[in-house]
Amino acid sequence: LACAVILLEAAVARMLELGNADQLVISGVRCFVQLSCLGFILAPIFATNSPTLVMAYVFGFMVLVSAYEAAARPKVTYPGMFSKAIISIGISLLVSGLLLLYIVQPDPWYDAQYVIPLAGMLINNSLSGVALALNAMIDHLYNHKEQV
């Protein structure tokens, strides 16, 4: 249903001859496939609601994917950038997540219904911050390499 909006936009773009209807159709199909895969991954996690499974998904999958994305964004890279991104995003999630769990107080504390969406929001903020900081730092070092 959510992908139907993208397909409707593609139909309107084709009628208005905007030239991006094909890209919108491809985006709609990708959206459907990605959300279906995510549903297959999350369904057992929500069904079992195990603290080990929830934390493994959050720290073992969500943090790793976001760290990879943060390390892949800058044009220039350096050795160990991926591991530093994992540490930055992981520590940020741990500190802000503990504070948020204290404020929200889900019962039980590992309830996947609360932990996974909240972790996603916190990781998204951390990803944006880490990617921007990495890009700014690397650009500055690259442009001023004679002074370093």
- Residue 9's Cβ-count burial label (10 Å; 0-12, 13-18, 19+) is middle
Q: What is the mean pLDDT of residues 92-99?
A: 93
Lowest mean pLDDT among 74-78, 93-97, 125-129: 74-78
pLDDT > 90 in the chain, percent: 49
- Predicted confidence at residue 123, as pLDDT, reads 94
Judged against a pLDDT cut of 70, whether residue 131 lies above it is answered with yes
Confidence of residue 53 (pLDDT cuts 50, 70, 90): very high
Flag whether pLDDT at 49 surpasses 80. Answer: yes
Per-residue confidence (pLDDT) for residue 148, from 0 to 100: 67
In the prediction, which pLDDT does 98 show?
A: 93
